[in-house]
Amino acid sequence: MPDPLPATPVIAEVVDKYADELVALRRDLHAHPELSWAEERTSQAVVTALEEAGWAVTRPEGGGVLAELGQGGRLVALRADLDALPVDDLISDPWRSTNPGVAHACGHDVHTAGLVGAGLALAEVAARGMLPGRVRLLFQPAEEVMPGGALHLISAGALEGVSHVFGLHCDPSLDVGRIGLREGPLTGAADALTVRLIGKGGHTSRPHLTEDLTFALGKVITELPAILSRRLDPRAGVSVVWGMVRAGSAHNVIPHGGVVAGTVRMLDAVAWADAEHLIRQLISAIVAPYSVTAEVTYQRGVPPVVNHEESTRLLGIGVENVLGPHGHVSTAQSLGGEDFGWYLDSVSGAMARLGTRTPGGPTYDLHQGNLRVDEGATTIAARVLAEAAVTALND
């Protein structure tokens, strides 16, 4: 384990000092979740906290918050996402969502409060003359929609001059006090697919006089994933999963329209480049025998998050300064999509998984309204992100 930096005890001291306030901020954000591109209250809470701590804060047109601190040529960025999901909050805590049908079911309230905490700690590090460069905080809107708000912040100059960018994402399968770290691919590419079929409907007693659209829709649902598994390298881990199917309104009527929508995910960036063209070809071939018309909407979403070697090493040092040599554990690549991958297309960086499960407690899943996190993860996130920034600036 490397020797702690002089800033390490300062970071710990400040985060401990503000621990109750950071948990209160996280609860406030959880109680007032906002959907993608509408994170106004959340953003204002971030601005207030950081301006009081001496950060230079800007609000890019369209959403998000950028904040900068320090002097010198070297610049490191830290990122958190702001938005919530359109799901019902099923927890019974006093800080449950007050916005019906909207909930922080992916832990972005933890990410945001954690990065605010890192900002408070880094402000004190700078005040004591221990910050050998500049840090930029990226509070990003709209991570939960494709292609994600990362591109918006990049276009606003968020990565200009940045040498490394770091981020954390809640992992409810890891105990609090553990960080999942992995060099190389961490997440998969994720796209959105909608297939709308149009054809001649009719009576279910005379399917031969119709273009049996419901049957054709079923073929798309079952055959597209099967054919892709034979047309793309299996090592690419391609997965097509449908989340919505809609056709007809009566048991004895063949409808004239129907739609199926889902996601296309894969582990490999090369396969991602070819997927859209192949999927459009296959859908046309699948529905051809039924004479229906297929309208395909394919939205490229996000590339895989591929952690860079040097940035992963630096983030690992930051984790060890907080949690010791056993604080980070190996983690597997997932098919989950995360637009942090767009940042890593431009600069060196790394994302790690933040343990949020209470030891011995239940394991929850992301994007579910019953998600509960161990709130100790908020202060751990603050310390790890601050340590990663100082470590990278001192490297």
Torsion angle of the four alpha carbons 122, 124, 128, 134, in this order, in degrees rounded to the nearest 10: 30
- Active-site residue, selected from the candidate residues 34, 83, 109, 212: 83
Radius of gyration of the chain (CA): 23
Alpha carbon distance 384, 317 (integer Å): 9
Q: Which residue, chain included where needed, has tokens 């003359």?
A: 129
C-alpha triplet 148, 29, 307: angle, nearest 5° = 40
If DSSP codes are grouped into helix, strand and coil, which group holds residue 363? coil
- Active-site residue, selected from the candidate residues 81, 89, 143, 387: 143
Two structure tokens written together for 283? 């859908």
Query: 168 and 107 in contact (C-beta within 8 Å)?
Result: no
| Cβ-count burial 308-333 (b if 16+ within 10 Å, e if not) | bebbbbbbbbbbbbbbeeebbeebeb
What sign does the CA torsion over 333, 339, 342, 344 have? negative
Q: Between β-strands 65-70 and 75-81, what pairing exists: parallel, antiparallel or unpaired?
A: unpaired
Q: Specify whether 83 is catalytic.
A: yes
Residues serving a catalytic function are: 83, 143
